[in-house]
Structure 1
Amino acid sequence: MLTKAALRRTALAQRKALPAAEVARRSAQLCAGFFRQYSVAEWRWLHVFLPLAAKNEPDTWAIIHQIWAVESAPRLAAPVVQPDGISLKHYELTPATPLLSNRWGIPEPQAALGAEVQPTQLDAVLVPLLACDQRGHRVGYGGGFYDRFLAQCQPGTQFIGLSILDDEPLAEIADVLPTDVPLTACITPGGVWNF
């Protein structure tokens, strides 16, 4: 079993080595896998993360634009890191939403201009990750932002990880914490894993 720190180092190096064209190809596969797996018309709200291109995160814009193009699709929410540096608030994301880059370079809705969305309103959350195991536990960047956020959602909310790496879930992550919130599924370029 590997620790989160070891898995994080390995996954970040693997992602960094991907050329832009490969990130785009794999992101398109993630988008196709997402829409094959989920009937989004059943949801009222879907939470999406906006990609940090400098870290070769999955490009979620294809999913976002496809949802915006469908009349019966759910409304979208995206996170904004709060000044305390440890928590998130969530705001509606529309084609007209102005975006600002935060201190890490992650695009965020301009909070003052958007409607705040509560975690309890969400039907599904797209979750960024570096690796996950067969029980749905994930490795992120280590800040705990998403675990704190997912713990605020209603029971039954779908937590769907998106991984640009084409790895199967690991047998087990060594240092899972009681505060870690497991995913319900993970989509990779190679397929969908349900937990």
Structure 2
Amino acid sequence: MLGLEPKTKADLRRAALARRLALDDDEVARRSIKLRENLFRQFPVAQWQWLHLFLPLQKRNEPDTWNVIRWVWGEELPLRLATPVVQPDGASLKHYELLPETQLTQNRWGIDEPVPDPTTAPEVFPAAFDAVLVPLLAVDRMGQRVGYGGGFYDRFLAQCRPGTQFIGLNVLDEQPVERIADVLPTDVPLTACITPGRVWQF
């Protein structure tokens, strides 16, 4: 059921992370395949030129976006992919093309990031993206999301051009909550959220 009382980001974050960590590796993999299937079934992916996606933090059971990446490469789609790199200021992101030959390194959180290179990982600017796959722990009926609380994605999404689709990925097959209590003016809402069972449009 949809929760009727507004809930804080901290409460939603704690509860959702506990539910996600209770999933085993096989279940995360199975649900991640369904996320990829729903993405390609419900969105005009073939019409996009650039898709931005995150690389999964496996220890937190994030959706395995390598399902999407390998599908794009395997089908030889003209779609180009990019992924973020956290900058030394600890507050901002830069974005680099992800190619089969791109070298990756782990950041301090254990997330794979491209090693910037003019040939194998050139920088891509936010205005280029047709769609962004966004990590989340929970979302409400207005498309407001709960992440880990760092604000990286809200700052990044605010830089994208009007009309860019912001699509959350959630391995938890749950309905949006009614309302997040502590939404900030700087929070950028999603346009959709994909779960294993369905796609929610906002």
TM-score, with normalisation over the residues of structure 2?
0.94
Residue 162 of structure 1 aligns with an amino acid whose one-letter code is L
Q: Is 1:86 aligned to 2:80, yes or no?
A: no
- Structure 1 counterpart of 2:144: 137
In structure 2, the partner of 1:60 is 65
Question: Is 1:150 equivalent to 2:157 in the alignment?
Answer: yes
Deviating above 4 A after TM superposition, structure 1's stretches of 4 or more consecutive aligned residues are none
Does the 8 Å CA contact 1:40/1:73 hold for their aligned counterparts? Answer: no
Aligned to 2:124, the other structure's residue is in SS state coil
Partner of 1:99: 104
- What does 1:13-92 align with in structure 2 at a 5 Å threshold? 13-92=18-97
What is the distance in 1 between the residues matched to 2:105 and 2:181? 37
Distance 1:153 1:125 in 2: 9
State whether residues 51 and 82 of structure 2, in contact with CA within 8 Å, keep that contact through their aligned partners in structure 1.
yes
2:159 is equivalent to residue 159 of structure 1? no
CA distance in 2 between counterparts of 1:70 and 1:121 reads 22
SS at match of 1:104: coil
Q: Which amino acid aligns with 2:201?
A: N
CA root-mean-square deviation: 0.9
> AA paired with 2:61?
N
The equivalent residue for 1:190 is 197
- 1:149-193 Cα deviation digits (max 9, x unpaired): 000000000000000111111111001001000000000011000
Separation in 1, partners of 2:167, 2:43: 10
Q: TM-score, normalised by structure 1?
A: 0.98
Verify the 8 A CA contact 1:91 1:111 in the aligned structure 2: yes
How far apart in 1 are the matches of 2:8 and 2:88?
A: 30
> 1:27 is aligned with what amino acid?
S
- For the residues of structure 2 that align with 1:191 and 1:121, how far apart are their CA atoms? 28
Work out the CA distance in 2 between the residues paired with 1:191 and 1:69.
Answer: 25
Match for residue 7 of structure 1 among 2, 9, 12: 12
* Residue-by-residue CA offset, 1:108-133 (whole Å, 9 max, x unaligned): 01124520000001000000000000
- Structure 2 distance, partners of 1:130, 1:79, is 19
Alignment gaps of 5+ in structure 2: 1-5
Between the aligned residues of both structures, percent identity stands at 67
